[in-house]
Structure 1
Amino acid sequence: MTHYRSTRLALAGLAAAAGLGLSACSSDDSATPASATSAPPIAPSTTAASPADIAKQKATTAYLGMWSDMAEAATTSDWQTPKLAQNATGEALQTISRSLYADHYNGLITKGQPVNHPKPVSVEPLDNPTSVTLTDCGDSTNWLKYRADNGQPANDGPSGRRQIEALVKKAIDGSWKVTTFAVHEVGSCTG
């Protein structure tokens, strides 16, 4: 049961860190009438994104995809779904699969969604990136375990905000996948 609990904590943190609840802000200027003295609109920049910026975006997408895939599989504790390998590989994929298997074995399912806010902290090498390190403050408050047989909440430890670090690497086929991640205890987020 100790292995299950530590794996659960790791996955809960990751799921929370996955950033599945990102929001975007937009502005609607259509209600503001144009003035005769207003400046002409600024043309959008045609500067191409740098290789580092592209790598950061692709790594972040893979990281969020990993949490989304895991949250979907956790609704039935399906540790064998091929979907898990779309955005995770190596140690990260093994950790997720083992955690879902432990939930299946223990008769648990997970409901809800983790909330993640990943931020790239390093890209290597800058000129042709193959590795991106992300940090996240994942929130598992609304991503909880339940007994599969009766739907009652499972007492599987605290949920909440956790610090998460992940390494995302470019594969030979050009895709980006999470290779490892570490989830810290509830309350470990600094921001």
Structure 2
Amino acid sequence: MKPRFVPDSRSWAALAVAVLSVATATACTTTDSADSPARSSTVPNTSPESSATSSPSPSPHDDAEAAAVAAYEGMWAAFVAAGTTAHWQDPALATHATGQALSTLTRGLYADAYNGLVTRGEPILDPTVSSAEPAGDPTTVIVTDCGDGSNWLKYTAEGQLADDEPGGRRRINAIVERQPNHDWMVTDFGVHEVGTC
């Protein structure tokens, strides 16, 4: 007998029900805009920022942080693309996510497919790095985001809006780890309630 999945109008809202906050990133930290550049972007923009000024080569720490943020943004880009058809077996999902993170994404899309739902629009991301360990050459980076899914909505396959509850900004904490092949992948993430950032 198949389990019954309850639809939700917001992709993050559905994922928030399925996951707990990331245990190693429980503190709700904020990054002062003077300490780091704003990175507000929509999901498909996964290219790293370039600098016009000449500067020393990035350190392993800087490289790790940039790679972790790119993996985080890439994960959401793949999820948004797969969500347009609720393609829960889309191989692109495994490009930037593994472990619990990949399981959470595929379960969310499977629930949508089961209920005949698709997503339209895209979230707005604003990821920053909360921590990177070990300090000299990080293998684990915690990415903190204040994502806005207000215009990332669930629809029926026939094109009817599934729910018109207002959305908003949510705190998202993600663990991004360097894999044995040196790729950076999101291994777990937690999505908090609307209004948590």
TM-score range, shorter chain: 0.7 to 0.9
The answer as to whether partners of 2:11 and 2:154 remain within 8 angstroms in 1 is no
Determine the structure 1 residue equivalent to 2:13.
9
How far has the Cα of 1:11 moved from its partner?
Answer: 3.5
When residues 21 and 159 of structure 1 are mapped into structure 2, their CA distance, relative to the original with a 3 A threshold, is farther
When residues 184 and 83 of structure 1 are mapped into structure 2, their CA distance, relative to the original with a 3 A threshold, is same
Determine the structure 2 residue equivalent to 1:31.
none
The answer as to whether partners of 2:42 and 2:122 remain within 8 angstroms in 1 is no
How far has the Cα of 1:48 moved from its partner?
Answer: 1.8
Alpha-carbon distance between aligned partners in 1 of 2:146 and 2:70, rounded to the nearest angstrom: 16
Q: Which amino acid aligns with 1:70?
A: F
The two structures have a TM-score, normalised by structure 2, of 0.76
After superposition, residues 171-190 of structure 1 pair within 5 angstroms as 171-189=179-197
The answer as to whether partners of 1:114 and 1:140 remain within 8 angstroms in 2 is yes
Alpha-carbon distance between aligned partners in 1 of 2:189 and 2:49, rounded to the nearest angstrom: 29
The answer as to whether partners of 1:4 and 1:99 remain within 8 angstroms in 2 is no
Alpha-carbon distance between aligned partners in 2 of 1:122 and 1:105, rounded to the nearest angstrom: 38
User: What secondary structure does 2:124 align onto?
Assistant: coil
The two structures have a TM-score, normalised by structure 1, of 0.79
Determine the structure 2 residue equivalent to 1:30.
none
- Listed as ranges, the gaps of 5+ residues in structure 1 are 27-42
When residues 103 and 2 of structure 1 are mapped into structure 2, their CA distance, relative to the original with a 3 A threshold, is closer
Q: Which has the larger radius of gyration?
A: 1
How far has the Cα of 1:160 moved from its partner?
Answer: 1.5
The answer as to whether partners of 1:18 and 1:66 remain within 8 angstroms in 2 is no
Structure 1, residues 109-155: CA drift from partner, whole Å, max 9, x if none?
Answer: 0001111010001000111210000100001011100001x210001
User: What secondary structure does 2:132 align onto?
Assistant: strand
The answer as to whether partners of 1:111 and 1:146 remain within 8 angstroms in 2 is yes
Q: Which amino acid aligns with 1:165?
A: N
* 1:57 is the counterpart of 2:66: yes
How far has the Cα of 1:50 moved from its partner?
Answer: 1.3
* 1:85 is the counterpart of 2:86: no
Determine the structure 1 residue equivalent to 2:118.
109
Equivalent pairs, count: 169
Of 125, 139, 142, the residue aligned with 1:130 is: 139
The alignment's C-alpha RMSD in Å is: 3.0
How far has the Cα of 1:59 moved from its partner?
Answer: 0.1
Alpha-carbon distance between aligned partners in 2 of 1:165 and 1:152, rounded to the nearest angstrom: 31
Determine the structure 1 residue equivalent to 2:54.
44
